[in-house]
Amino acid sequence: MTAPWSGPLEKVDNYRFRVPRRYKSCMRTDGLIYADERLLQLIKKDQAPEQVANVACLPGIIGFSMAMPDIHWGYGFPIGGVAGFDLQKGVISPGGVGYDINCGVRLLRTDLTVEDVKPRIETLTRELFHNIPSGVGSKGKIRITDQEVKKVLIHGARWAVENGYGWEEDLEVIEEKGSMAGADPGVVSKRALERGRPQLGTLGAGNHFLEVQRITDIYDREAAEKFGLDVGMVTIMIHCGSRGLGYQICDDFVKILGNVTRRYGIEIPDRQLACAPVESPEGRRYFQAMVCAANYAWANRQCIMHWVREAFGKVFGKDPRRLGMRLIYDVAHNIAKIEEHTFNGKKVKVCVHRKGATRAFGPGHPSLPPRYREIGQPVIIPGDMGTSSFLLLGTERAMQETFGSTCHGAGRVMSRHEALRKTRGRRLKEELKDRGILVMSASNKTLAEEAPEAYKDVEIVVDVCHKAGISKKVARMVPISVIKG
């Protein structure tokens, strides 16, 4: 991790802290960090607040440079960073999206209860582990040509459904219906396509996971009923992204935009904030390539969900439809989008960067599925391995303050190297099993890197978002079994 941060922070209220514009001469606006006093002490342990200030220096920024309570140090933008930019005067930056483009989460419900699943949990976990490829560099079961990969980049989850991986109704409850407009495979490098072709339908490694969970708490009974959820029911959460394809696209465009930032007269306080005007040729090409990676990620999660349903069907001897295995929602949390928002009383189009942050649109928004429009967008917040995860709802206050954004998870407090060092000699699988959580992993190293103490307390992170009003709690889930890469 980086050195502790010692810059100025002004308390706005119990859940908002300001990095004042006067802190750096290049800042065009204030930074705003959503946190409470407990989280603030953790946040100041690295240079993430400095990155919030640096983002405030970018041209065309609208409103504040924001950070969610799971903020930690990242590449360019902090992880947990949110910023909106004017389409004419503003910029687009790969560092504001991240290397794992459209890393995201989807949540399935089932009609099964904990009592139904517990007697078969070892069989089910083995079936999931063997049915869904995971681990560093893992290759999937889908064999497709370069031309077919390009179709995935355009059509996303729709490609998966049309090729037998899922149900038509799934598409209605995926952000952007699983296929964001604006993709152009022609701007994606040959190397990115080569990396993406064998990895479709794979979980990967790092903080990605698949969990079988049980619902322990319901906070909003009306919303939970709309989702078909209740205490004791079993859910499945899938957390992964665009694999090597997304990483390569980010890597390619960090270099491309790094070469043109100064040509456009843009001064940046950190070279990791390489950027170009949103409407410039380079900015448009990055956006088109990023959309390709986002669509690939939605197709990836769709294929994985299909195999989850197959595994449950095999173990329980029932068709997945009869098991009630309905997708609740799928959200992205590393993405840039062109959205319409109200700012200073006017409707404006904004390029919103969400890096380690989740879209959280409030009730009535036309982009939401009709079945959820009156209650707001489902927001899925995964915990770290062995702790709680949450289902939230977007709010009108988020629309007013954060361009409809909230947190995305717990947020690291230890680097992977530090987590490895501190867990050396521990038997994490056995520790988790003693707590009633079965874990299967392609790598013991990944388990150590993702140990629960490597992260902030997700309960506190979610509480801050709930009490700040930028999302509201619906349900809490805890793991029964975990598949890690």
Q: Is 341 annotated as a binding residue?
A: no
Tell how many helices (H) and how many strands (E) occur in the chain.
Answer: 15, 19
Longest alpha-carbon distance in the chain: 65
Q: Considering only CA atoms, which of 167, 112, 118 is closest in space to residue 313?
A: 112
Strands 61-72 and 31-34: parallel
Q: Is 211 annotated as a binding residue?
A: yes
Q: Is 382 annotated as a binding residue?
A: yes
Q: Is 54 annotated as a binding residue?
A: no
Q: Is 383 annotated as a binding residue?
A: yes
Cα 142 to Cα 17: distance, rounded to the nearest angstrom: 47
CA 289, 349, 276: angle at the middle one, nearest 5?
45
Catalytic hit among 72, 155, 341, 408: 408
State the DSSP string of 278-317. TTSHHHHHHHHHHHHHHHHHHHHHHHHHHHHHHHHHHHHT
Q: Considering only CA atoms, which of 442, 459, 415, 478 is closest in space to residue 128?
A: 442
Q: How far apart are the first and last CA of the chain?
A: 23
Q: Is 317 annotated as a binding residue?
A: no
Q: Is 409 annotated as a binding residue?
A: yes
Q: Is 220 annotated as a binding residue?
A: no
Q: Catalytic: 466?
A: no
Cα 223 to Cα 219: distance, rounded to the nearest angstrom: 9
Give me the helices (H) in 103-232, please: 114-117, 121-131, 146-155, 157-162, 190-196, 221-227
Whether 243 contacts 485, CB under 8 Å: no
Q: Is 134 annotated as a binding residue?
A: no
Q: Is 207 annotated as a binding residue?
A: yes
Q: Is 14 annotated as a binding residue?
A: no
DSSP β-bridge partners for residue 389: 477
Q: Is 408 annotated as a binding residue?
A: yes
Q: Considering only CA atoms, which of 250, 265, 140 is closest in space to residue 204?
A: 140
Q: Is 230 annotated as a binding residue?
A: no
Q: Is 410 annotated as a binding residue?
A: yes
Give me the helices (H) in 66-189, please: 114-117, 121-131, 146-155, 157-162
What DSSP element (H or E) covers 49? helix 48-55
Rg of the chain, C-alpha, whole Å: 21
| Token pair listed for 404 | 């409809």
Distances in Å between the Cα of 221 and the Cα atoms of 224, 327, 372, 475 are: 5, 19, 14, 9
Q: Is 210 annotated as a binding residue?
A: yes
- Known binding-site residues equal 100, 207-211, 239, 333-334, 382-385, 389, 408-411, 484
- Known binding-site residues for GMP equal 207-211, 333-334, 382-385, 389, 408-411, 484
Active-site amino acid positions? 408
- Known binding-site residues for Mn(2+) equal 100, 208, 239, 333
